[in-house]
Amino acid sequence: MMTLQSLVAGKPVHSGRTQTVRSPYDGAVAGTVTLAGRAETEAAIAAAVAFRDTPGRYDRFRILDNARAILEKQVEDYARLITAETGLCLRDTRHEVARALDVLRFSAMEALRDDGQVYSGDISPNGKARRIITQREPLACAACITPFNHPLNTVLHKLAPAIAAGTPVVLKPSEKAPLTAVRLTELLYAAGLPAPMLSVLVGPSADVAEPLVQDPRVELVSFTGSVAVGKRIAATAGYKRLVLELGGNDPLIVLDDADLDLAVQLAAEGSFRNSGQRCTAVKRILVQQGIAPEFTRRLAEKAREYVCGNPTDEATRVGTVIDEASAIYLETVLDEAVAGGARLLVGGKRTGALLQPAVIADVPRDARMITCESFGPLAPIVAVRDLDDAIELANSTVYGLSAGIITTNLNHALSAAKRLRCGMVNINEIPAWRTEMSPFGGIKDSGLGIKEGVVETVKTFSTVKTVSLPW
Ligand code: NAP
> Tens digits of per-residue pLDDT, 327-355?
999 999 999 999 999 999 999 999 999 99
Q: Please give the Cα distance from 182 to 203 (Å, whole number).
A: 12
Contact 311, 88 (CB under 8 A): yes
Domain shared by 281 and 167, yes or no: no
E-assigned strand segments in 18-138: 18-22, 29-34, 118-120, 130-138
pLDDT of residue 34: 98
> In sequence order, which residues have a C-beta less than 8 Å from that of residue 308 and are 6 or more positions away?
316, 317, 318, 319, 347, 354, 355, 356, 357, 377
Q: Please give the Cα distance from 361 to 345 (Å, whole number).
A: 7
Could you read off the pLDDT of 125-172 as tens digits, one per residue?
999 999 999 999 999 999 999 999 999 999 999 999 999 999 999 999
Could you read off the pLDDT of 244-273 as tens digits, one per residue?
999 999 999 999 999 999 999 999 999 999
Is residue 379 one of the residues assigned to a domain? yes
> Residue 122 pLDDT > 80, yes or no?
yes
**Pocket perturbation via mutation, ligand 1, pick of 33, 85, 145 by most ligand atoms within 8 A of CB:** 145
Domain shared by 361 and 466, yes or no: no
Domain interval for residue 24: 2-246+447-470
Atom of ligand 1 nearest to the CA of 210: 19
Output the domain CATH number for residue 254: 3.40.309.10
Contact 292, 255 (CB under 8 A): no
Between CA 465 and CA 121, with CA 132 as vertex, the angle to 5 degrees is 145
Domain shared by 19 and 137, yes or no: yes
Pairing relation of β-strands 130-138 and 462-470?
A: antiparallel
> Residue 91 pLDDT > 80, yes or no?
yes
Is residue 440 one of the residues assigned to a domain? no
The reply to whether 245 belongs to the active site is yes
> Which DSSP letter does residue 352 get?
T
pLDDT > 90: percent of the chain: 100
Domain shared by 255 and 239, yes or no: no
Q: Please give the Cα distance from 62 to 278 (Å, whole number).
A: 31
The reply to whether 219 belongs to the active site is no
Could you read off the pLDDT of 431-465 as tens digits, one per residue?
999 999 999 999 999 999 999 999 999 999 999 99
What confidence category does residue 1 fall into, taking pLDDT thresholds of 50, 70 and 90?
Answer: confident
Domain shared by 236 and 332, yes or no: no
CA 425 remoteness from chain centre: 17
Domain shared by 25 and 158, yes or no: yes
**Pocket perturbation via mutation, ligand 1, pick of 19, 182, 226 by most ligand atoms within 8 A of CB:** 226
Pocket of ligand 1 (CB under 6 A): 145-149, 154, 172-176, 205, 209-210, 213, 224-226, 229, 232-233, 245-248, 279, 373, 375, 401, 442, 446
Domain shared by 93 and 8, yes or no: yes
Average pLDDT value for the chain: 98
Is residue 442 one of the residues assigned to a domain? no
Contact 334, 361 (CB under 8 A): no
Burial of 73: CB neighbours in 10 Å, binned 0-12, 13-18, 19+: exposed
Q: Please give the Cα distance from 383 to 389 (Å, whole number).
A: 10
Q: Tell how far the Cα of 146 is from the centroid of ligand 1, in angstroms.
A: 6
Domain shared by 232 and 348, yes or no: no
Output the domain CATH number for residue 216: 3.40.605.10
Domain shared by 108 and 205, yes or no: yes
Domain shared by 172 and 256, yes or no: no
Rg (CA), the chain: 23
> Residue 202 pLDDT > 90, yes or no?
yes
Measured by CA distance, the residue closest to atom 47 of ligand 1 is 175
What confidence category does residue 50 fall into, taking pLDDT thresholds of 50, 70 and 90?
Answer: very high
Could you read off the pLDDT of 353-375 as tens digits, one per residue?
999 999 999 999 999 999 999 99
Mean pLDDT of 388-414: 98
Our count of domains for the chain comes to 2
Domain shared by 241 and 259, yes or no: no
